Amino acid sequence: MPVTVSDEDFQQILTQTRHFVRTAVIPREQEILDNDRVPDDLREHAQKMGLFGYAIPQEWGGLGLDLPQDVELAMELGYTSLALRSMFGTNNGIAGQVLVGFGTDEQKARWLEPIACGDVVASFALTEPGAGSNPAGLRTKAVRDNGNWVISGQKRFITNAPVAGLFIVFARTRPADERGAGIAVFLVPADAAGVDVGVKDAKMGQEGAWTSDVNFNDVRVDAGALIGGSEDIGYRAAMTSLARGRVHIAAIAVGTAQRALDESVAYATTATQGGTLIGNFQLVQAMLADQQTGVLAGRALVRDAARLWVSGEDCRIAPSAAKLFCTEMAGKVADLAVQIHGGSGYMRGVPVERIYRDVRLLRLYEGTSEIQRLIVGSNLVRAAQR
Ligand SMILES: Cc1cc2nc3c(=O)[nH]c(=O)nc-3n(C[C@H](O)[C@H](O)[C@H](O)COP(=O)(O)OP(=O)(O)OC[C@H]3O[C@@H](n4cnc5c(N)ncnc54)[C@H](O)[C@@H]3O)c2cc1C
- 328 vs 321: CA distance, rounded Å: 11
Distance 127 CA to ligand 1 centre (A): 8
Q: Which of 156, 320, 364, 375 to mutate to test the pocket of ligand 1 (most atoms within 8 A of CB)?
A: 364
Distance CA(60)–CA(154), nearest Å, equals: 31
In the predicted structure, residue 224 carries a pLDDT above the cut 70: yes
Topology, domain 122-230 = Butyryl-CoA Dehydrogenase, subunit A; domain 2 (2.40.110)
Q: Is the per-residue pLDDT at 331 higher than 90? A: yes
Which CATH number is correct for 7-116, 3.10.290.10, 1.10.287.110, 1.10.540.10, 2.30.40.10? 1.10.540.10
Residues 255-314 have pLDDT tens digits of 999 999 999 999 999 999 999 999 999 999 999 999 999 999 999 999 999 999 999 999
pLDDT in tens, 43-71: 999 999 999 999 999 999 999 999 999 99
Instruction: Give the fold, CATH level 3, of 235-385.
Output: Butyryl-CoA Dehydrogenase, subunit A; domain 3 (1.20.140)
Atom of ligand 1 nearest to the CA of 364: 20
Count H helices, E strands: the chain? 12, 9
Active site residue 44: no
Rounded to the nearest angstrom, the distance between the alpha carbon of 138 and the centre of ligand 1 is 13
Mean pLDDT (whole number) for 188-215: 98
Is residue 135's pLDDT more than 70? Answer: yes
pLDDT category of residue 1 using cuts at 50, 70 and 90: low
Q: Count CA atoms closer than 13 A to 11's CA, side-chain side.
A: 3
- pLDDT of 230 above 70: yes
CATH 2.40.110.10 boundaries in the chain = 122-230
**Sorting pLDDT into bands at 50, 70 and 90, what band is 179?**
confident
What's the whole-model pTM score? 0.97
In the chain, CATH 1.10.540.10 covers 7-116
CA of 9 to the centre of ligand 1 (A): 37
